[in-house]
Structure 1
Amino acid sequence: MTIYVGNLSTSVTEKAIESLFRGYGVLEQLMLPREQETGRAHGYAFVNLNNGEDEEKAVRLLDATEWMGRCLYVVKATPRISIKLRQDNAS
């Protein structure tokens, strides 16, 4: 499962996110999109841990917690194709 982490500060770093998830398991993958021109983070990230149970625990315990002065939005990521299919079916 991929975890979506939203409402991050634009000044957040990969190291800070690694530190945040360190207590929940082994971080396998981290994607922190950045603006090309400024290098600032877009305010969200995608995280994969090495264990599904650890990922579920991280989502449950980190969602709606305050970190770096912001209330985190932490959920199971939805693949883009699923989002598009839902939008197409709604019309």
Structure 2
Amino acid sequence: MKLFVGGISGNLDEVDLKEMFELYGDVVSAIIIKDRETGKSKGFGFVDMANSAEAKEAIDLLDGVSLFGKKIAVKAAEEQPRTGAPRTGFVNKSAPPRRRF
């Protein structure tokens, strides 16, 4: 089960995040989302746990906990649809041709 973790302090790294959730069960992966330009944490990440019951326990026990002075939010991650058109390699033949100047 994939979990969303928000409110992550800049002092926390992916190893710390994984170890924190391993207290409640088997962690498949833990990732903190970083800004492409600066490489700094955006303050949220995802933890993938192998067992749904253990993931639900982690949500119950960790949601709202203060960590490095920030309250973290832990909940089940929701699948978000991708924005923009998918890159399929196909051409829209019904569209008018582009003019090049």
User: TM-score per shorter chain, which class?
Assistant: 0.7 to 0.9
Q: Distance in 2 between matches of 1:15 and 1:4?
A: 16
Aligned to 2:51: 51
Q: Higher strand proportion, which one?
A: 2
Aligned to 1:60: 60
Higher relative contact order (CA 8 A, sep 6+): 1
Q: Higher helix proportion, which one?
A: 1
Q: Distance in 2 between matches of 1:12 and 1:38?
A: 16
The letter for the 2-side match of 1:64 is: G
Shift of 1:76: 0.6
Shift of 1:12: 2.1
Q: Distance in 2 between matches of 1:40 and 1:24?
A: 27
Task: Say which SS state the counterpart of residue 33 (structure 1) adopts.
Answer: strand
Deviates more, 1:14-23 or 1:57-66: 14-23
* Contact residue 11 and residue 41 of structure 1 kept, 8 A: no
TM-score normalized by the length of structure 1? 0.81
The share of aligned pairs that are identical, in percent, is 27
- 2:11 aligned with 1:5, yes or no? no
Superposed CA RMSD in Å reads 1.2
- 2:18 aligned with 1:18, yes or no? yes
Aligned residues: 81
Shift of 1:47: 0.6
TM-score normalized by the length of structure 2? 0.74
Q: Distance in 1 between matches of 2:61 and 2:11?
A: 23
Task: Say which SS state the counterpart of residue 41 (structure 2) adopts.
Answer: coil
Aligned to 2:38: 38
Q: Distance in 1 between matches of 2:80 and 2:58?
A: 22
Unaligned runs of 5+ in 2: 82-101
Task: Say which SS state the counterpart of residue 43 (structure 1) adopts.
Answer: strand
Task: Say which SS state the counterpart of residue 75 (structure 1) adopts.
Answer: strand
Superposed, which structure 2 residues align to 1:52-91 within 5 Å?
52-81=52-81
